[in-house]
Amino acid sequence: MGICIYLFLSYLINHTLTYYTMEQAQVIHMDHPHTDVKKEIINVTIILSVLTIIELALGFTMMGIENQGTRLAIKGIIVILMLAKAFYIVGYFMHLKHEIRNLIMTIVVPLAIFIWFITAFLYEGNSYKNLKNRYDPYKVERSHTIVEKKESVKEEKKAE
Amino acid sequence: MSTTTATAPTKWWNGGRSPFNVEYGKLMMWYFLMSDAFTFGAFLIAYGTTRFAATSWPDPNKVFASYPLMPEGSHAPLVFVSIMTFILILSSVTMVLAVQAGKEMKKNTVAINLILTIIGGLAFLSCQAWEWTHLHHEGAWWGMNPFLNADGTQSTTGFTNFFFTITGFHGFHVFSGVVINCIMLIMTLTDKFEKRGHYLMIEKAGLYWHFVDLVWVFVFTCFYLI
């Protein structure tokens, strides 16, 4: 079904984009004198660094938090920041934002299949976990047996 | 006939020129990167599926908690990997500068920025080599997982298998990127691009290098942060 949707979308986009003329494209490419480009590179570098620092700060704060709900919320924020970084790298460093729409759509629209891909497979993994924990006694036992940590074993040996 | 084509409105899909307004090689590089994005996406989603199917999973902050020449017994999660991330971001910036200098036909600036990019790539690879060696000394490898789950239960080898496969595949991309950049540097210094009259090849190499940085953004988040 995903393939059908993809084919339909690519058909639709190719036909709606037929009416972009060469003149418009030249305008797109002309509005970038090189001083602006330098400024843009510096800005994007700063944005990427700041986003990375925020991500790391969130990672550090997450270490002290035990509550699973809060941890999940922070992980969600980190994923959103990750997508923002991806947008800046693809859009500005890889210059995709300044290409014409034909190219942008050709590259970006097929990637929409990831929405289904991620949702379906994570759902599948979660369902497998639930089934396993309900019906597989070996796995249930295993997931409740606390194993002694290696470091503590070493320390005991030292103490002896 | 010729008069009608001249007066007819120029449409992108009428033929006679690229409907994407880029040259052939660059378009093919985009298609290749898209397919590569699906490969990495499939790897990371397989990792996510396995992780969602596990009741518990090793805590990355306990596994990746050291850096070279670290004092004995200290615990420094996220420090080393953030250095690696910044190295890759900065090498991406120098690559943009090389591409920009290529557009302005400044041979020396291109060469300097390419050298900086290559140094960044090599620095990243060295960091990764150190990290792999360190983990291997702790007993981690494909099929061997010395780390326990966050809740103290026995972990499967899924954690190390996925870690070494995905960071290894990414490291291989970095390595080939460095090789491509070295070739670009040699071509720049031997005036290949000056004779051609354009530096479009640098732009394609640049696209590949940025993609390597892009993939690291995802790998870094999925393995070290979440």
Q: For the residues of B27-56, what is the DSSP string, one character each? A: HHHHHHHHHHHHHHHHHHHHHHHHHHHSS-
CA distance B167 to chain A (A): 17
User: Given a cut of 50, is residue A31 above it in pLDDT?
Assistant: no
| DSSP 8-state symbol, B145 | -
Say what the pLDDT of residue A156 is.
45
Say what the pLDDT of residue B27 is.
95
Name the residue facing B225 among A17, A78, A139 (closest C-beta). Answer: A78
Rounded to 10 degrees, what is the CA torsion of A121, A146, B158, B212? 90
State the pTM of this model.
Answer: 0.84
Domain B32-225 has CATH 2.160.10.10: no
Minimum Cα–Cα distance from B152: chain A residue: A146
Lowest mean pLDDT among A21-25, A57-61, B188-192, B202-206: A21-25
Residue B69: pLDDT band with limits 50, 70, 90: confident
Task: Sketch the domain layout of chain B as residue ranges.
Answer: 32-225
* CA-to-CA dists, residue B184 to B108, B117, B178, B201, B225, angstroms: 13, 11, 10, 8, 34
Minimum Cα–Cα distance from A28: chain B residue: B21
Provide the chain B residues 75-104 that lie in CB contact (below 8 A) with chain A.
77-78, 82, 85-86, 89, 92-93, 95-97, 100, 103-104
Lowest mean pLDDT among A104-118, A130-144, B19-33, B115-129: A130-144
Please judge whether A48 and B89 are an interchain contact, meaning their C-beta atoms are less than 8 angstroms apart: yes
Average pLDDT over residues A107-114: 94
Residue-wise pLDDT for B14-53, tens only, equals: 888 888 999 999 999 999 999 999 999 999 999 999 999 9
User: Given a cut of 70, is residue A86 above it in pLDDT?
Assistant: yes
Say what the pLDDT of residue B133 is.
95
User: Given a cut of 70, is residue A116 above it in pLDDT?
Assistant: yes
Please judge whether B22 and A118 are an interchain contact, meaning their C-beta atoms are less than 8 angstroms apart: no
Say what the pLDDT of residue A14 is.
46
Say what the pLDDT of residue A120 is.
97
User: Given a cut of 70, is residue A33 above it in pLDDT?
Assistant: no
Closest CA to B140 of B115, B162, B117: B162
Q: What does the mean pLDDT of chain A come to?
A: 79
Chain B CB contacts of A18 under 8 Å are: 11-13
Provide the chain A residues 129-148 that lie in CB contact (below 8 A) with chain B.
129, 132-133, 139, 142-147
Say what the pLDDT of residue A144 is.
85
Residue-wise pLDDT for A125-160, tens only, equals: 999 999 999 999 888 888 888 887 655 444 444 454
Q: What does the alpha-carbon distance between residue A95 and residue B203 come to, in Å, rounded to a whole number?
A: 10
Residue B101: pLDDT band with limits 50, 70, 90: very high
Average pLDDT over residues B77-101: 94
Chain B CB contacts of A128 under 8 Å are: 52-53
Residue A21: pLDDT band with limits 50, 70, 90: very low
